[in-house]
Structure 1
Amino acid sequence: MLVIGAGFAGIGAGIGLRRAGIEDFAILDEQDGVGGSWHANRYPGIAVDISAFSYSFAFEPFPEWSRAFPPGAELKSYADHCVRKYGLRPHLRLNAQVVRAEYDEQAHLWEVFLRDGTSMTARFVICATGWLTKPKPPGTAGLDDFAGEVVHTARWDQNLELAGRRVGLIGTGASAVQVVPEIAPRVAHLHVYQRTPIWLFPKPDVPLPKAVRRVFRAAPWAQRTLRLFTDTVTELSFVIAMIHHRQFPFLVRAGEALSRLYLRSQVGGDRELMSKLTPGYRLGCKRPSFGKGYWRAFTRDNVDLVTEPVERITATGIRTADGAEQRFDVLVLATGFHVLENLPPFPMHGTGGRELKEFWESERFQTYEGSSVKGFPNLWFIVGPYSFTGGSWFGMIDYQVTHALRVIREARRRRATEAAIRPEKHDRSFRKTLRRQRNTVFLDRSCTGSRSYYFDSRGDAPAVRPATTYEAAWRARHFDLDDYRYTRARGRVPAPAVGRPAGGEPLRRPL
């Protein structure tokens, strides 16, 4: 077996495999450490924007959080902790970038090709590559002309010095919400270029005293109880409001009213500034966030919010559509990531040689229960189209791993070499997803102006599954295993192998 990705999704898949008694697997990752985004992202102010009591594995509460919303370094430490505790080190293969994967219909094997020229074969593949891995530069002309320093938040240069310098920051999403208040007091002047404002809520980030941590260590049930509370609040206040917007529109309106009150408290009633920072789309169309000091930063004398469209990046700065040009020493790109187009971040060819992205582009993003795709046997996604409910990321990892493991165990029980979702079951699942999407906030007309990564070119919102986390978890444990077709390859079947040079003999143990 292969797990592609060593972020929390891949770590969760590895833990699930070991708990199921499956040891013949490897976890690949293109980076030199585990943790995914929490290994790569190190920009100033980086922190989790959902309570750590929910942003962690339910079976592995972590009593050492320093805060309710801990900094990124603690999330990275938690990833390392999980790898150590659950014995995943022997299964890791880091600095192993996958460039393509092809399915052998006769042998019922996936062959995965790596950047270094080697290939690996596996019976089953769990794709855990995540969303936020490929930085997205601004679609603005002239970026290469800028003579100063340029840094993307996802690839932050730890040696970059901002003190006393003029900085232009492009983007006002979740990363900017954390970066702006962190760097504003240090720079000479900061211009923030906003294309689309963000709905923001006060961040209840409090330090966790040593006494509280001692209680969590001594009584893990206390932390689990707190997690149940934070999970429930998230489901009730955001997930249900988003996916049942047609039935409960007042929930979205209430959330927007709360956000506006918070904005007023942060900017002192400055109507012009409030107008610029207030989204023109419904809450939920685009990812909201929790902020601490972001809106207040725009009341500083050395911070300006620019809403005029950026026309071009010049050798010395940024020129906007009104002809105004500002000079900068440094450009910070808080422009997010390629998301839907990053699913997966490499070509995958299934039965008949069909490429997965081409299938989704021509026939819409679609999956069976957010996990598998017709025509791509022995393959499951942790993060794929219609996987994430918008609630607990770790809840999603749990139910997606549960789904894959149920099928893998069933295939092994039947001595099958291939498990393929039946096309009619796949199509029925997708039709149900589209029907349920009609109830969501995503069909609100205002969403068309949100520029949200939730949406594809057809107006579907495949980044979010129209279900609660609890429902998705129940489905993962109860879907009919006969929705898959189990078959055995005919004739002599080559053994899966890891670490094989392309066209060569296996170098390591079979998978």
Structure 2
Amino acid sequence: MKPDYETVIVGAGFSGIGAAIKLDKAGLGDYLVIEAGDGPGGTWYWNTYPGIAVDIPSFSYQFSFEKSPDWTRTYAPGNELKAYAEHCVDTYGLRPKIRFNTKVLGAAFDDDEALWHVEVDSGRTVTARFLVNACGVLITPNLPDIDGVDSFAGVTMHTARWDHQQDLTGKRVAIIGTGASAVQVIPEIAPIVEQLSVFQRTPIWCFPKPDVPLSPTARRMMRLPGGNTVQRLLSQAYVELTFTLPAQYFTVNPMAKNMSKVGEAYLRKQVHDPELREKLTPRYAVGCKRPGFHNTYLSTYNRDNVELVTEPIDKITGSGVATVDGETRDVDVLILATGFRVMDADDMPTFPLTGSGGRSWREHWDKHRLQAYEGVSVPGFPNFFTVFGPYGYVGSSYFALIETQTHHIVRCLKQARRTRARRVEVTQEANDRYFAEMMRKRHRQIFWQDSCQLANSYYFDKNGDAPLRPTTTLEAMWRSRRFPLDDYAFTS
């Protein structure tokens, strides 16, 4: 049976955009991108809350082959990242191959036909030889398991689904969570609200952010031949030195062990009240949980109209938030800054997946723990590849991950074309070998230090694993170009 498309890519965020560009460059242009939103951008399409911005330098947060000369700051705001996604889609002619406003409801592999049947919400089924999951991980809101959260009579919104029609001026606002999104939202809304109550379960390490407007000279440099390449290399080195190496090589990296002192010093400088400072001080090592980078988040707690609440929440009432000490804070607006469902088998991908022989993706991972060969492929799920899989991401620029994993995928698809293979599946032996290597190397990571048990971090899945690749960015890139193709079975 001839499929509708050789390849279906799910998601038109930067992962899907990068995969589509790579396929076109490889001469594999018979594909369709399916996107639930009405525009590209993924994370930067869905997340539009006040103050949203990237937390690594703009020069690293872009494709190496499409470096933008239009960044206005060292850390690009969300609207510029959304515009960059639109630019990439139009520059590479992808728009006609993207089906917007279409949600994938499920996908099942047909062993007889060696095809994927992809069910979409329009009621039709799209068939494809190969299926690429390019769903991002900062997409599906994580709703808190708090009694009465649905009973609040005022306005409720999650940071990932911000309602811009709501004017917070003069309102009493409660925000639940102090993760990366809250770090950006809180300083933006504090000056305009009457009262802001911040409910904190676990404090976050926050560091200063070298976020400055790019001068006319710096912007001119981005347009010179090689200018933006130099800026990108310097930026990549900064990202690698400040996260990847400290997190992945914590036990052998003395710099990593001093990061807590840097964070404590910054906290002392920013927050005046010693008691408040104590509440904002994390009890876990830097890196156990995604840190925040902001220049005014901590100092915002010095404001008279901002209250930090560390008493656990008992329930949400019709008028406010009640804590276990018996106190209730009446509010007009409830903001859920409770993050995303990240290391969850139900959201990688965001739709039910049935592999060879009726095998369930979720049940497979429930039984065998989160694992994937080079973070891309899983035995029993032929012709299926994922950009963000377990033990694929090293923690540096997400664009480095996209380019690394799409290179891996394209190598497999080109080999399938050369051998006229209808079925491509990673071998169990190769998968087991890679997973054993990840387990053998992970002791160097920050995540296995005792204090990380206090972090309440989404890096950890329900099995207690932190499925990040314990290597450098360069090693991951090298392996995507050198892994043995014999680790896959190509069946014609």
TM over 0.5: yes
Q: Does structure 1 retain, via aligned residues, the 8 Å contact 2:56–2:239? A: no
**228-237 or 22-31, larger mean C-alpha shift:** 228-237
**Equivalent residues in 2 for 1:241-390 (5 A)?**
241-248=246-253, 250-268=254-272, 270-341=273-344, 342-390=347-395
Q: What's the offset of the Cα at 1:23?
A: 1.2
Structure 2: distance between partners of 1:315 and 1:90: 47
Report what 2:434 is aligned to.
429
Q: What's the offset of the Cα at 1:465?
A: 1.4
**Equivalent residues in 2 for 1:201-220 (5 A)?**
201-219=207-225
Aligned match of 1:230 in 228, 231, 235? Answer: 235
SS of 1:246's partner is helix
Q: What's the offset of the Cα at 1:399?
A: 0.4
Q: Which amino acid aligns with 2:479?
A: R
SS of 1:64's partner is coil
Structure 2: distance between partners of 1:343 and 1:470: 25
SS of 1:132's partner is coil
Q: Does structure 2 retain, via aligned residues, the 8 Å contact 1:168–1:328? A: yes
SS of 1:53's partner is coil
Task: Answer yes or no: is 1:454 the counterpart of 2:459.
Answer: yes
Report what 1:487 is aligned to.
491
* Cα offsets for 1:176-195 (capped at 9, x unmatched): 00000000000001000000
Q: Which amino acid aligns with 1:258?
A: V
Q: What's the offset of the Cα at 1:209?
A: 2.5
Structure 1: distance between partners of 2:480 and 2:150: 47
**Equivalent residues in 2 for 1:152-163 (5 A)?**
152-163=158-169
- Give 5+ residue unaligned stretches, structure 2: 1-6
* Cα offsets for 1:19-74 (capped at 9, x unmatched): 11111001111111100010111111111111110011111110111111121000
SS of 1:208's partner is coil
Structure 2: distance between partners of 1:266 and 1:118: 56
SS of 2:252's partner is coil
Q: Which amino acid aligns with 2:477?
A: A
Task: Answer yes or no: is 1:474 the counterpart of 2:481.
Answer: no
Report what 2:3 is aligned to.
none
Q: What's the offset of the Cα at 1:443?
A: 1.0
Q: Does structure 2 retain, via aligned residues, the 8 Å contact 1:44–1:182? A: yes
Report what 1:420 is aligned to.
425
SS of 2:173's partner is strand
Q: What's the offset of the Cα at 1:466?
A: 1.1
Q: Which amino acid aligns with 1:290?
A: F
Q: What's the offset of the Cα at 1:388?
A: 1.1
Task: Answer yes or no: is 1:194 the counterpart of 2:197.
Answer: no
* Cα offsets for 1:4-30 (capped at 9, x unmatched): 110000000011011111110011111
* Cα offsets for 1:403-436 (capped at 9, x unmatched): 0000100110011111111110111011101111
Q: Does structure 1 retain, via aligned residues, the 8 Å contact 2:15–2:134? A: yes
Structure 2: distance between partners of 1:258 and 1:61: 32
**Equivalent residues in 2 for 1:103-114 (5 A)?**
103-114=109-120
SS of 1:340's partner is coil
Structure 1: distance between partners of 2:488 and 2:292: 38
Report what 2:153 is aligned to.
147
Q: Which amino acid aligns with 1:261?
A: A
Structure 2: distance between partners of 1:161 and 1:465: 42
Task: Answer yes or no: is 1:400 the counterpart of 2:383.
Answer: no
Instruction: State the Cα RMSD in Å.
Output: 1.0
Structure 1: distance between partners of 2:212 and 2:439: 40
Task: Answer yes or no: is 1:69 the counterpart of 2:108.
Answer: no
Report what 1:411 is aligned to.
416
Structure 2: distance between partners of 1:413 and 1:372: 20
> What percentage of aligned pairs have identical amino acids?
49
Q: Does structure 2 retain, via aligned residues, the 8 Å contact 1:252–1:282? A: no
When normalised by structure 2's length, the TM-score is: 0.97
Q: Does structure 1 retain, via aligned residues, the 8 Å contact 2:250–2:257? A: no
**Equivalent residues in 2 for 1:25-44 (5 A)?**
25-44=31-50
Structure 2: distance between partners of 1:386 and 1:198: 24
Q: What's the offset of the Cα at 1:210?
A: 3.1
Report what 2:449 is aligned to.
444
Q: What's the offset of the Cα at 1:251?
A: 2.3
SS of 2:109's partner is strand
SS of 2:241's partner is helix
Q: What's the offset of the Cα at 1:391?
A: 0.7
Q: What's the offset of the Cα at 1:123?
A: 0.7
Aligned length: 484
Q: Which amino acid aligns with 1:189?
A: Q
- Give 5+ residue unaligned stretches, structure 1: 489-511
Structure 1: distance between partners of 2:360 and 2:255: 41
* Cα offsets for 1:83-116 (capped at 9, x unmatched): 0111101110111111111011121111110112
Q: What's the offset of the Cα at 1:460?
A: 0.6
* Cα offsets for 1:194-242 (capped at 9, x unmatched): 00111111010010133322221233x1111111111112212211111
Task: Answer yes or no: is 1:176 the counterpart of 2:161.
Answer: no
Q: What's the offset of the Cα at 1:262?
A: 1.2
Q: Does structure 2 retain, via aligned residues, the 8 Å contact 1:237–1:251? A: no
Report what 1:465 is aligned to.
469
